[in-house]
Amino acid sequence: MPTPNPDAAPDASMDTLRAADPEVAEIIAREGERQESTIELIASENHASPAVMAAAGTVMTNKYAEGYPGRRYYGGCVHHDSLEQLARDRAKELFGCRFANVQPHSGAQANMAAFMATMKPGDSFASLILKDGGHLSHGMKLNFSGTFFNPVHYALHYDKSHPEHERIDHDSVRAVCREHKPKVLLCGYSAYPRVIDFAKFREIADEAGALLIADIAHIAGLVAAGEHASPFPHAHIVTTTTHKSLRGPRGGLIMTNDEDLNKAINRALFPGVQGGPLMHIISAKAVAFGEALRPDFKLYQQQVIANAKVLAASLTEHGYRITSGGTDNHLMLVDLTARDDNLTGKDAEAWLERAGIITNKNGVPDDPRPPMTTSGLRLGTPATTTRGFKEAEMKRIGAWIDQVLSAGMKGESELDKVADTVRAEVRELCAQHPLPHATRCHA
């Protein structure tokens, strides 16, 4: 990540936008100020580099390029072919695989294409249930995955005396696969703080005659840097987003080592679920993959993990419970009820935002509260690490979180006072660690 330059001139493109549409420019400027002056702890968010954002805003957006390199349905795609092939090649090098499809608009559409390539409507697949850390595209009833396919779910360990409490129960995975004989076994999660044993999942998939799909949307950056075990060669298909810990533009990616599966994936994505690719976003993906291939990206991911461990330890010291007892990656689930039975994720999220600390409410494993209330928060460190925060800052953030939540539990007047004080301190810290200048949209 380039060193931020707080004195650099604002992006000239904002001057153009301000002249053409001041109303839109003003909203974007306010969002730029919000990002610059707040601490981003949402585990699925990050701050893309100036180069990534520059690539996303280019003439590549002006072209339809339906199809794939060398096989387009429109003329004039010679440069789009070159760029898409470059993105593919960098993705393959980054993750050590033979084939990469860089066209998915999102991680959910990457999963949709992977499902369509491996299953027919009504077929069964095994996954972790959403409330325990899965993703909506892993079998939620209102999602395509639960509407057109038949999800069967394995469990976490639910035994406080068990050393694997709130971690994947591989015996449950095996039992579910033996009973239901799913076409696909899915691993990789939205809110799981521990290492995933891809080799164990492949062993179970082989026993059941299933294909293994690994959705590494959250941990892709860690995997790319060698700070988490790779799903290859174990997974038949790997899907991911390109933002989150990978720190690229919002988008998706599908990878495999199997030529036949690659052909099926390509057909399933286009024309199966998408039309023309977003070539400006593929341009930005290529830049992000190039950044992730640099040596400093590994150092960044190491700091992401170190920061997460310090934040988890700080919150534990203040009386909060981290599910599964800690974290191995970039995120953690904070069980707020250990601090106070009446404290909810909904309240905690709102109170912290008043203080300039951005989080998201999240269910904890076996949470009795509904998804819009929850008993927990999901916190992550990719964005704070991009900003340059290290262990000292993370410990300070843990203390701020406790100050705000403690004040909120005492009532509105106490919350107002403490939130205002912490908000000023957050602004000061953020000013000491400015975002890359191209993310700053000046009013």
What is the per-residue pLDDT across 338-374, written as a single tens digit (0 to 9) for each?
A: 999 999 999 999 999 999 999 999 999 989 999 999 9
| pLDDT on residue 132 | 86
The yes-or-no answer on residue 244 being catalytic is yes
| pLDDT on residue 440 | 46
| pLDDT on residue 14 | 85
Tens-place pLDDT, residues 227-272: 999 999 999 999 999 999 999 999 999 999 999 999 999 999 999 9
| pLDDT on residue 437 | 61
Q: Is the Cβ–Cβ distance between 161 and 173 less than 8 Å?
A: no
Catalytic residue, candidates 215, 227, 328, 335 = 215
The yes-or-no answer on residue 402 being catalytic is no
| pLDDT on residue 4 | 44
Identify which of 358, 347, 357, 360 has the alpha carbon closest to the alpha carbon of residue 424. 357
Q: How many CB atoms neighbour CB 82 within 10 A? A: 11
| pLDDT on residue 126 | 97
Catalytic residue, candidates 33, 45, 66, 258 = 66
Catalytic residue, candidates 18, 90, 194, 244 = 244
Catalytic residue, candidates 90, 167, 174, 250 = 250
Domains of the chain in start order, with CATH, are 59-292 (3.40.640.10), 298-438 (3.90.1150.10)
Phi, psi at 298, each rounded to 5°: -65, -40
The yes-or-no answer on residue 123 being catalytic is no
Q: Is the Cβ–Cβ distance between 192 and 219 less than 8 Å?
A: no
Give the model's confidence band at 332: pLDDT under 50 very low, under 70 low, under 90 confident, else very high: very high
DSSP letter string, 192-212: --S---HHHHHHHHHHHT-EE
Task: Please give the share of the chain, as a percent, with pLDDT higher than 70.
Answer: 96
| pLDDT on residue 5 | 44
Q: How many CB atoms neighbour CB 34 within 10 A? A: 12
Strand residue runs (E) in 260-347:
321-322, 331-335
Catalytic residue, candidates 26, 33, 45, 64 = 64
The yes-or-no answer on residue 250 being catalytic is yes
> Is the pLDDT confidence value at 122 over 70?
yes
Average pLDDT over residues 41-51: 97
Catalytic residue, candidates 38, 118, 241, 256 = 241
Among 108-117, 139-148, 281-290, 429-438, name the one with the lowest average pLDDT: 429-438
CA gap 219, 162 in Å, rounded: 26
Burial class (CB in 10 A: 0-12, 13-18, 19+), 68: middle
Q: Is the Cβ–Cβ distance between 15 and 406 less than 8 Å?
A: no
Mean pLDDT score across all residues of the chain: 94
Q: CA–CA distance from 180 to each of 112, 137, 202 (Å)?
A: 21, 20, 17
